[in-house]
Amino acid sequence: MPVFTTRDSTEIYYKDWGNRNGPVVTFSHGWPLSSDNWDAQAFFFASQGYRVIAHDRRGHGRSAQPWEGNDMDTYADDLFELFEHLDLKDATMVGHSTGGGEVARFVGRHGTDRVKKAVLIGAVPPIMVQSESNPEGTPLSVFDSFRASILNDRSQFFLDVPSGPFFGFNRPNAKVSQGQIYSWWQQGMTVSVKGAYDCVKAFSETDFTEDLKKMNIPVLVLHGDDDQVVPIKASAEKSIKLLPQGTLKIYPGGPHALPNILPDEVNKDILEFIKA
C-alpha cells in the first residue's frame, strides 16, 4: 500500500495510477470520503494515458488518524509534501467540495510552480458559513448539527446524507442508487471521529477569498445549480468573480455529487479543459 510520511510523522495513503511518464492529474476528495470516491475519474484518466494521483486526506480513508492537524492549512501542506515526494510537475489539480478548498489553499500557500491548471467541482470556496458579509452562506447552526450528529450517531448520519442531499436522491423522480449510498457510508465510516468533527470547521469556516485571487492559472469551475450541500450562489457564482482566469460551467439540475452522478460529462469536461 503506497504511503508517505509527512514532516509531523503522519502516514498519508495515495494511489499512483496510469502512465508514470504521462501528464499529471491529482484528485482531492470531499468530506468525509476517501480517494475511492474518484474511481470513475481515476480509471478514466489513467486509461487515457495520464498519471493519476489521488490521496486519502489525513484522518480519512487509509491514511493515519492524528489528533492534530485536521485543518485546511495542514491538509494543503500534506498534499504539497506529496507533490515533493513524487516530484510532481505541471499538474492539473482537481478538487471536489472540501477537496476544492484544499486545492485553493494549496495554491494560496505554495504557489503554482508545480501546477498548471485546476478544476473546482461543487467546491466550498470562497466561504460556506453565513455572516453579515456572506448572507448567502449556510447558518453556523447547520454545521453545529453536523458535529452533534457525528458524536451522537455517526453511522446513521452517514446514511442520511447520501440518501438525501449529497446525491440529490431526495428529489422527485431521482434514480436512487443504494450502491452509491452504501459506498458513501463505507468511506465515511473509515474517517476518524476527530477528523470528521474537525473537518466540518475546516470546510465551512475557512475563508478562501485570498487563495482564489492567487490562482493565476486557468481554473475550471463545475457546479450543479441544484447543489443542496454547497449552494451555487454562495460558492461558484462568487468564486468565478475572484479567479483571475476562471471559467464557470453550470450543470442544470446537477446535484452536489457531480463526479458520481454525471461521471461521463464531468470526465469529458475535465479532459477538454486539460487539452485546451
188, 141 contact by CB (below 8 A): no
- Does 256 participate in catalysis according to the annotation? yes
- Does 97 participate in catalysis according to the annotation? yes
Residues in CB range of 186: below 8 A, 6 or more apart: none
Which position among 227, 235, 239, 269 bears the catalytic label?
227
Residue 126 φ/ψ, nearest 5 degrees: -75, -40
- Does 223 participate in catalysis according to the annotation? no
Please tell me the distance from the alpha carbon of residue 121 to that of residue 224, in angstroms, as a whole number.
Answer: 9
3-state secondary structure at position 13: strand
Say how far residue 238 (Cα) sits from the centre of its chain: 18
Place of cell 502512465: 19
80-83: long-range contacts, CB 8 A cutoff, minimum separation 24: 80/106, 80/109, 80/110, 81/4, 81/6, 81/7, 81/12, 82/4, 82/12, 82/14, 82/53, 82/55, 83/26, 83/114
Which position among 28, 34, 97, 192 bears the catalytic label?
97
Please tell me the distance from the alpha carbon of residue 26 to that of residue 93, in angstroms, as a whole number.
Answer: 5
Which position among 29, 55, 60, 256 bears the catalytic label?
256
Q: Which residues are catalytic?
A: 97, 227, 256
